[in-house]
Amino acid sequence: MVQSSVLGYPRIGENREWKKALEAFWAGKIEEAELQETLKQIRLTHLRKQQAIGIDLIPVNDFSYYDQILDTAAMFGIVPKRFDYAGGPVPLSVYYGMARGTAEATACEMTKWFNTNYHYIVPELGDAAPVLTENKALAAYREAKEELGIEGKPVIVGPLTFLKLSKGYQAEEAQAWLNKLVPLYAQLLQELGAEGVQWVQVDEPILVTKLSKGELEQLQGVYATLAAAAPNVNLIVQTYFEAVDQYEALTSLPVKGIGLDFVHGLAGNLAAIRKYGFPQDKVLGAGVIDGRGIWKADLAGKLDLLNELAAIVPADRLIVQSSCSLLHVPVSTRQETKLEPVLLHALAFADEKLAEVELLARGLSSGTSAIAEDLTASKLAIEALEQSEARSRLDIQAAAAQIAAVPAERNQPFAARHAAQEAHWHLPFLPTTTIGSFPQTAEVRKARQAWRKGEWNEEQYAAFIHEQIDYWMKLQEEIGLDVLVHGEFERTDMVEFFGEKLAGFAFTSNGWVQSYGSRCVKPPVIYGDVAFVEPMTVKETQYAQSKTNRPVKGMLTGPITILNWSFVREDLTREQIAYQLAYALRQEVEALEQAGIGMIQVDEPAVREGLPLKAEEHAGYLAWAVKAFRAATCTVADTTQIHTHMCYCEFHDMIDSIEAMDADVISIETSRSHGELIESFEHHTYPLGIGLGVYDIHSPRVPSIDEMTAMIERALRVLDPKLFWINPDCGLKTRGIAETAASLRNMVAATKAARAKH
Ligand code: GLN
Ligand code: ZN
């Protein structure tokens, strides 16, 4: 019999109960005992769902109080010295202190989990002396067994992945750290074995990245040790998000099972298994149901794939499973009552994916006739969406194809544009500007609520937005900024705002996914051809421009950021969707230009987030990402100044691509990536306009003139002063009014000093 499994289930709960419980606990509204009980009930609910659907190998210990990497660090007592921790099981106060910071100690760093939008807490090894402080996997296994009679499959983060994602050690100390960690893993597995645990899923997503020779040896050493230490436990070394780098080495490990991603690593993993086969003594976890996308699977196609695999790995050694943890998709489509039926029927969130996994396992065991109805249903739903009007915009498809076919070039190269712009705009030396948003005060949020609920009509809301703009236009002039912005008061979110105004997008009611800690996001769904409907930002920008003689910069979100922060259709490539977005945004850019707005900023903070995991695919992605940006912005006059903005990522190794975007001016966050970004300009003369953020906008603290002067001086050592702009790191929407005004006044004062000096 073929078995079914998933690699993990979302923690947040169908109505984000998990988030609410965590936040209530942090706010002191509930005690620890109540938190524990609430979370236990959430856990059991999730297990019951999987049991009811008939999943054979149900994951346990995939649940977390915050993040699974933080759990692993805590389980090994790896707590930085700045926290008040004296050994033993890590108390919740310390655990949450590491995640969120305390009054005395700053939080641990947080970073993106591979190429997903999930963020994990980075363990700090430093001088830690790891011990097994508690066996969380065992506790989870016992709970599932005692409460529900489930023979669970504990999930743990494998030693290689844990080590590679940690910081606070030198590369040459890796083996020494493994020597400390692996015995703890062995102990953990032995305890599981003594309890009668049969299967343990050891997550090693690091194995899809390029491994050095040394790491390959470590891989073999680690699993030889673990397999010998716990011979009665079946280990599945689980990979996901891409094809594995070293298929032969991986499949020759002395473990019982290997899990491969046949969705996001389909081509590579399939080629490897066809070429090298699969060992007779192992079980294959075949990840065929997409754990990251939200679409129904083409079940017939998946069965074909599984049948091919079953010819290599006999059915009794096959596990049909999700490609990765279902953590990355929303919980269920059950609450989606407002979506168009043709879209709704084509969606599968976590619960629907459980059903798909079970169906496929059944279909493979008992033959297609056993699931014939479901095969037809999935086929019809997918076809209906494919043939829907939303996906039949021939004009859009042709325009996107045209963008793909021709180069996206401004009329003139930068030097000529720069001269034309200087003559046109007469900006002062070292011009000052901001990134777009101004404080979204409680008043602004309340007004939007009132309007959304229908308590305010369009006119009332527009009048309120105008008042906000009036206030900030006056204030910006008084502060002495050179290029002004309208403040983005009408926007909640930089992607949602545009998605709501473009065709081809849908918004779920409850499609939340965990981003970090209790923070969830609800990505828009790009399900149809993306089309411009009517101007989206012209009215507010034009209104702001009518209030001042200084230039007002229009403000848009770029094609790649919209793409990377949405769930997208899969019948087109991401590149094709990017070109559709570029075409739509180009029309907005042109509408702004026509309305007399001659400076237009197209934000692209998320370009780096779309970077493929495999280094050899970086160049291809960056080429079309850059082209989509250029396509959105290249049709304007020479005097029209295109700006862009990027933040909170490591940009120092992609300066070439940033330059290739050919924006007349880029503003880029500098404080977090500090030295690195500025250093990279030492080796690379940046030939376009650029503003390196002169202050961090994440704290209410007002930066001093001296601090900003120091930032400006540092930047001017490596960048051409004639092309340099002065701006904060990012938008100011999370800040208060008073501190924003004070900070900007200091920024202008620092600029005046720099102007006098240079
Ligand atoms: N223009 C946006 C703002 O100022 C940019 C936001 C961002 O970079 N994430 O809010
Ligand atoms: Zn930003």
Q: pLDDT, tens digit, for every residue of 50-73?
A: 999 999 999 999 999 999 999 999
Average pLDDT estimate for 553-563: 98
Under the banding of pLDDT at 50, 70 and 90, the label for residue 684 is confident
Residue nearest atom 3 of ligand 1, based on CA coordinates: 731
3-class secondary structure per residue, 103-114: CCCCCCCEEECC
Nearest ligand atom owner, CA of 693: 2
**Quick one: pLDDT at residue 699?**
84
520 is in an annotated binding site: yes
Considering only CA atoms, which residue is closest to atom 5 of ligand 1?
Answer: 731
Comparing 673 with 126, which gets the higher pLDDT?
126
Distance (angstroms) between ligand 2 centre and the Cα of 491 equals 15
pLDDT at 450 over 70: yes
pLDDT in tens, 232-245: 999 999 999 999 99
Number of Cβ within 10 Å of residue 144's Cβ equals 24
pLDDT on residue 674: 56
Model pLDDT, residue 9: 98
Q: Separation of 429 CA from ligand 1 center, angstroms?
A: 25
Give the model's pLDDT for residue 676. Answer: 80
Ligand nearest to the CA of 488: 1
Hey, which residues does 668 pair with through a beta bridge? 646, 692
Query: How many whole angstroms from 682 Cα to the centroid of ligand 1?
Result: 27
* Residue percentage of the chain with pLDDT more than 90: 95
What gap in Å lies between CA 651 and CA 614, rounded to an integer? 18
User: Does 519 appear as a known binding residue?
Assistant: yes
What does the pLDDT read at residue 683? 86
Q: Note the pLDDT of residue 125.
A: 98
603 known ligand binder: yes
Question: Which ligand sits nearest to residue 735's alpha carbon?
Answer: 1
3-state secondary structure of 57: strand
Q: Is 730 annotated as a binding residue?
A: yes
Ligand 1, CB within 6 Å, residue ranges: 435-437, 488, 494, 555, 603, 605, 645, 647, 730-731, 733
Cα(689)–Cα(722) distance, integer angstroms: 8
Q: Ligand 1: which of 645, 732, 735 to mutate, judged by most atoms within 8 Å of the beta carbon? A: 645
Report the pLDDT averaged over residues 536-550: 98
Q: How many CA atoms lie within 13 A of 647 on its CB side?
A: 20
φ, ψ of residue 483 in degrees (nearest 5): -115, 120
Q: What is the pLDDT of residues 610-635, one digit of tens each?
A: 999 999 999 999 999 999 999 999 99
For ligand 1, atom 1: residue with the closest CA: 436
- The band of 650, judged by pLDDT with boundaries at 50, 70 and 90, is confident
Ligand 1 pocket test: which of 603, 697, 698 has the largest number of ligand atoms within 8 Å of its C-beta?
Answer: 603
The total of other beta-carbon atoms located within 10 Å of residue 750's CB is: 26
Residue % of the chain over a pLDDT of 70: 99
- Per-residue pLDDT at 562: 98
Q: Which atom of ligand 1 is least distant from the CA of 436?
A: 4
DSSP assignment, residue 602?
A: E
Query: How far is the centre of ligand 2, averaged over its atoms, from the C-alpha of 669 (Å)?
Result: 7
Contact (CB, 8 A) for 50 and 9 = yes
Q: Whose CA is nearest to atom 4 of ligand 1?
A: 731
Model pTM above 0.90: yes
393 annotated ligand binder: no
CA distance 313 to 304: 14
Q: What CA–CA distance (Å, rounded) separates 286 from 239?
A: 10
- Residues in contact with 752: Cβ distance below 8 Å, sequence separation at least 6, in sequence order: none
pLDDT of residue 79: 98
pLDDT of 410 above 60: yes
Q: How far is the CA of 168 from the centre of ligand 1 (A)?
A: 32
Q: Check whether 42 has a pLDDT greater than 90.
A: yes
What is the pLDDT, as a whole number, of residue 649?
80
Is there a contact between 705 and 753 (Cβ–Cβ < 8 Å)?
A: yes
From the CA of 647, the nearest ligand is 2
Q: Is the Cα dihedral 453, 456, 457, 462 positive or negative?
A: negative
For the chain, the average pLDDT equals 96
Tell me the per-residue pLDDT of 561-611, one tens digit each, with 9 for 90 and over. Answer: 999 999 999 999 999 999 999 999 999 999 999 999 999 999 999 999 999
Residue 325, pLDDT above cutoff 60: yes
Active site residues: 698
Q: Is the pLDDT of residue 710 over 80?
A: yes
CB-CB neighbours of 672 under 10 Å = 16
Backbone angles phi, psi at 633, to 5 degrees: -120, 0
Tell me: is residue 274 an annotated ligand-binding position: no
How many residues does this entry show for the chain?
A: 758
What lies within 8 Å, CB to CB, of 129 at 6+ separation is 77, 180
- Which of 488, 602, 671 has most ligand 1 atoms within 8 Å of its beta carbon, as the pocket-test mutant? 488
Predicted confidence at residue 614, as pLDDT, reads: 94
Asked if the model's pLDDT at residue 106 lies above 90, the reply is no
3-state class (DSSP) for residue 334? coil
pLDDT reported for residue 673:
63
Among the atoms of ligand 1, which is closest to the Cα of residue 557?
Answer: 1
Q: Which of 438, 440, 494 to mutate to test the pocket of ligand 1 (most atoms within 8 A of CB)?
A: 494
Is it the case that residue 700 has pLDDT exceeding 90? no
Q: Is 488 annotated as a binding residue?
A: yes
Atom number of ligand 1 nearest to Cα 434: 4
pLDDT surpassing 80 at residue 371: yes
